[in-house]
Structure 1
């Protein structure tokens, strides 16, 4: 038995040696067959280029390889020490490879994951200088062989010099000299300890650690910065006291002027493209130095239409530094963002208001109507149009007008309610749907409004909205903050017979060889029954034909849309909207001021969605639709199910009751009349603002200059926000004009 065991051990030893020798032989063969390629032969020419939707017209480029090499002697010791401490503390003693990293890559590749992690400085240098960004075990092994060969042919100083002259630091900067200028506007030789620690930190993630990206990025940078300083103290390059003195806060970052090639809307366009590439999984190195060829969804004509439409209708005397007009045009059926206007020149401000968005007011009401029809109501069913509307818990909502607000009758049809944007009718509608607010939010999400998330950091087109909750009893009045891009896409779903496509800005990505790597595949999803969609579309057409959206009649073809205006927490009008569509295109327009919550009423000549926003929408769509066939909308289906609550039967065919508590204003008020005349443009001096009534105990008159918009009186809604008062019905109110 003992002999047999010894024999087995002997054979296992022989087999193990054979495998070991075979492995060594294979490794030696692969090592000898790996030649070091010519450095920089491809790297310096791999500039990523961005094209319009035709794939031929160049829109711009990412990082024209901003690089200036400097000798090792001109690099300050602090940047050498900081980078080694942050990236590879064994650099001066290792043989150029990280065996653990290679083993980890093998296991990751076997599991189908991407290889990653723990590369030495030599390996990083080899990858950047000689190899591609391919994620595979083969590339990782080649990286190891080249690293072993390189450390035999170059000194550690030469490798570190090459690394610091080629590695990507973000902001389009390759190498320490370009990075020092991009972040601190000084040559590398003048970097101090804190600045060097920052640049060593951003190497870990050049995009998300750039302090220019906002508070979250700055906080993340501070954490990494402190780690670098602690690592420098650990390696003995600085003392613990020096680390403690420097780690408290980041150094100051001077304002670096953006490249003029980003001027106008191009900077905003390139930013959207970059962020979507990152969402697709491309690294900053691939985006800036991978030589990608990116075809976007943007068309020159749609971009031009958005900008020219905004400028044509902007009131004179109001600069885009204070008045921000955002617009976005989406193609129904594909979700392609064809054009947008961000609100200002990128060089003046990097805020894209077509992305940042604002409170949408009554442009949210079509989602309530769609939900009501799904629940069993019909366009002909009626709702409470008199004011105020009182919930069982004492919550009250009123229409515009003096006293308790204008009355429109106790039985207002769903179509009429949308035409005149009657708040009490829509609150009644929402309350009459079982779990109404929750279902309304679900419908909005299905149509293309992203779910809510507080404090959203906008990565490209925002995938979330703000201040949207299914627990909000007054969600129908549009207190949610949504981007014009997403509003345009949600209305595009209605234009597309209830079929949603996700909004996007990239059609195709190719690598530098011209081989197609990724093509965006449009995925259509049924969001709304076609018959219900036809009814919602019909009601929105009536808003244009007979209601607050009559300015859109100037388009001269079938159109549908909705006005909206909302207020801030000071009862000041802070946003005005018009969102509308034809069967082929959907466009949203938003007017905001200052930080997006500043007062419009008493500042603009008119602040209603039926005025400047609707006229801007028309000016944009006239260019967008130029030369396109006139396409008719589907006929309404008049879907009629089993209404979930009683008391909403269609009213008998009698004339609609006119508002009784408030006379129509004269032409001297803000807002358009049935036949709008040019509004005189005064200097932007505030005029007396409108008085807000606090319910349930009125303390003064309601807004007294609500306009008549195409024969329909614009409505004003009061919605409750909790106050600090202990009296249940003594609450503060949130005012929304629509």
Structure 2
């Protein structure tokens, strides 16, 4: 019908609705959400009932087992690299049980305040404590653990160190059952007789003897608070582990005393007074079975195991079997070389003069041998790990950095002394060794090649080199770190510098070696150069196996590119020249190809405080350091010779000769003779002036003729070539670049002063070329 329109709105179905059918309304959003929530509630309730039922079933069917049979017999053993020869073992568990009434009340209260403040009122587990600890840990706090004293006791006696929900569930069930069968006093007594306090001590009696050399019943309030503090983390809170550990202990110590005051176990005034200082810790004599270098070896292994995630309790009582990188041959070589070459006399005993040695395998970073400077029973300081100021042994890192930047070994630098860092000739300066004409050091000329500067260890050459590179100090430091020298962690203190280099910072004199570096790290960094510029991590742990034979850790060998192979080859060539004709000629007595660098460093009084020689063959890199007393005392005027080219170089030669005995002689690669685009002008290689023209000889016509009176049957003796009885010890020089020199022939050792001495000379390889040797024997500082 025209003229009529349907009203606006949704179309209506023309089909008639079924009789009796109700119209179905769509659910609202609120109804849909409620429906989903209802199902979640039902599922959650069912799961909760199942969980509760399962817990009740587990509780009823779980019996308290007998204590772990292996609890008292899990000593860990350490082996040489062959995995069979034993180095030693960690302390057999030191345990002495005493009754609760012989434990001071202050000790009981302190442990409860430290570990489980609700101990006397809880049911063996503390759900609120678990949540509280979770939030506390999330905030970065480290005060109270999630486990109660009862749970910790159960874990020690009946369970393993496994971290899993199944173990935690079983721990909770056993804790609930144990607190129903034992009184709180019995649980506390058992706990205090079994918990680990560090230093190999299990239980308060052993701990009291290990820390304070007295019986537990005689402990003071301060001493009780210390023991209650250290059991939370024996490694981090043992004051014997250095300044950082002592500071951490103080914080925990104050927390424990505060908890005792809050619980009215002691008055607030008494707690506050005690918190002002720690008690005195007597010196505890080390066990005799750690004598010689064994204690140092076990200490190094323990430190690395902890870095790998093993805790003290596992190390001392976990039954581990640890294979190290040490070889008995290299360890014996280090000890014998240090003893043989040290000066004689009571004033030079190990108590006063410390000779540190470290040998590392290039390409793997495996520490094969070391000598800590003295018997472990005399001092627990391992100088192969502690180190000292390295002096000029740091200079090869500057050479490598310069070659990376485009300089070459032929490029020249200022060798006159002193060298001023500013152009006005005032302010900070560097001097060369020696008195010189003006008393300010030896002058070597204004244009000295980098090669000669390395051979003769000329300080001003390296000062000029450093400022001639844009951001020179930063680039030298980065090169050293790439090669294997750890950076400086200013928050870390103590005698262990395996992962720290105090004083290493980008200052203008960085190449002169004021940083303190461990001999192990110096040997490893030089080993990187020997390995063609590829760095490996220095390490002492090769493999860790559990008592059941499961491999818990295996070192994965890898290297990374630190410097280009050509840079490494030229840096190595410069150090070969140090041995051939420079300050390290004493190392030529090794009788095989060697590269190295001498070094000395001075203390704040400008006295020589350390002397070094670091060097390598293709198979082994070794660092030798001489220091006195606490590492900063004067060597010059005390030692008969104090340069790096004297005692340190001779010790290095002795150690390497023993360590490499019976091994094949290997040779270094040819130098690359890099000549890049130097970043600074004015360092071109020196070209000597032409020689003066010789006066021409008179012609035959100008000479008077004279007929000899009698024919000569034999040549005049002056024209007869002289044939020596023995070949010359030095090869004749060849023509080569005067600024760079020639590739070295394999070094020939000097003639021994002892007529009975003999030195083996290796065969010369076909590719070897002759090298010009200087006739004088130079031994200069640095």
Q: For this structure pair, what is the TM-score category when the shorter chain's length is used for normalisation?
A: 0.7 to 0.9
Q: 2:226 is matched with which residue?
A: 198
Contact 1:275–1:460, Cα closer than 8 Å, also in 2: no
Count the aligned residue pairs. 666
1:233 aligns with 2:233: no
- Name which of 423, 429, 436 aligns with 1:396: 429
Structure 2 unaligned blocks of 5 or more: 1-26, 138-143, 692-748, 755-773
Which structure 2 residues correspond to residues 398-437 of structure 1 after superposition, within 5 A? Answer: 398-399=431-432, 400-402=434-436, 403=438, 404-437=440-473
State the shift of 1:235 in Å.
1.4
Which structure 2 residues correspond to residues 678-689 of structure 1 after superposition, within 5 A? Answer: none
Contact 1:106–1:137, Cα closer than 8 Å, also in 2: no
- SS at the partner of 1:45? coil
State the shift of 1:363 in Å.
0.6
Q: 2:314 is matched with which residue?
A: 286
Q: 1:612 is matched with which residue?
A: 647
Which structure 2 residues correspond to residues 270-669 of structure 1 after superposition, within 5 A? Answer: 270-317=298-345, 318-391=348-421, 392-393=423-424, 394=426, 395-399=428-432, 400-402=434-436, 403=438, 404-454=440-490, 456-458=492-494, 460=496, 462-470=498-506, 472-652=507-687
CA distance in structure 2 between the aligned counterparts of 1:108 and 1:390, rounded to whole angstroms: 56
Deviations 1:510-566 (A, max 9, x none): 122110011111220100100111111111111111111111111111100000011
- SS at the partner of 2:675? coil
- SS at the partner of 2:198? coil
Q: 1:689 is matched with which residue?
A: none
State the shift of 1:459 in Å.
7.6
Query: What is the aligned-residue RMSD (CA, Å)?
Result: 2.8
State the shift of 1:219 in Å.
2.7
CA distance in structure 1 between the aligned counterparts of 2:494 and 2:413, rounded to whole angstroms: 38
Deviations 1:545-594 (A, max 9, x none): 11111111111111000000111111111110000000010000000111
Q: 1:698 is matched with which residue?
A: none
Deviations 1:145-183 (A, max 9, x none): 221121122221221111111000111100111111111
Structure 1 residues 411 and 196: alpha-carbon distance in aligned structure 2, compared to 1, 3 A threshold? same
Question: Which of 569-578 and 283-292 deviates more?
Answer: 283-292
- SS at the partner of 2:610? strand
Structure 1 residues 655 and 618: alpha-carbon distance in aligned structure 2, compared to 1, 3 A threshold? farther
Q: 1:158 is matched with which residue?
A: 186
State the shift of 1:249 in Å.
1.8
CA distance in structure 2 between the aligned counterparts of 1:389 and 1:237, rounded to whole angstroms: 68
Give the alignment's TM-score, normalised by structure 1.
Answer: 0.86
CA distance in structure 2 between the aligned counterparts of 1:516 and 1:325, rounded to whole angstroms: 37
Q: 1:700 is matched with which residue?
A: none
- SS at the partner of 1:489? helix
Q: 2:776 is matched with which residue?
A: 711
Give the alignment's TM-score, normalised by structure 2.
Answer: 0.81
- SS at the partner of 1:409? coil
Contact 1:210–1:217, Cα closer than 8 Å, also in 2: yes
CA distance in structure 2 between the aligned counterparts of 1:384 and 1:626, rounded to whole angstroms: 42
Question: Which of 76-85 and 318-327 deviates more?
Answer: 76-85
Name which one, 1 or 2, has greater alpha-carbon Rg: 2
State the shift of 1:385 in Å.
2.2
Contact 2:588–2:750, Cα closer than 8 Å, also in 1: no
Question: Which of 266-275 and 310-319 deviates more?
Answer: 266-275
Structure 1 unaligned blocks of 5 or more: 110-115, 657-672, 679-708, 716-736
Structure 1 residues 248 and 161: alpha-carbon distance in aligned structure 2, compared to 1, 3 A threshold? same
CA distance in structure 1 between the aligned counterparts of 2:372 and 2:546, rounded to whole angstroms: 29
Question: Which of 161-170 and 227-236 deviates more?
Answer: 227-236
CA distance in structure 2 between the aligned counterparts of 1:560 and 1:321, rounded to whole angstroms: 31
Contact 1:363–1:562, Cα closer than 8 Å, also in 2: yes
- SS at the partner of 1:252? coil
Q: 1:167 is matched with which residue?
A: 195
- Name which of 66, 76, 79 aligns with 1:51: 79
State the shift of 1:649 in Å.
2.0
CA distance in structure 2 between the aligned counterparts of 1:677 and 1:322, rounded to whole angstroms: 30
Contact 1:271–1:460, Cα closer than 8 Å, also in 2: no
Contact 1:273–1:460, Cα closer than 8 Å, also in 2: no
CA distance in structure 2 between the aligned counterparts of 1:11 and 1:379, rounded to whole angstroms: 80
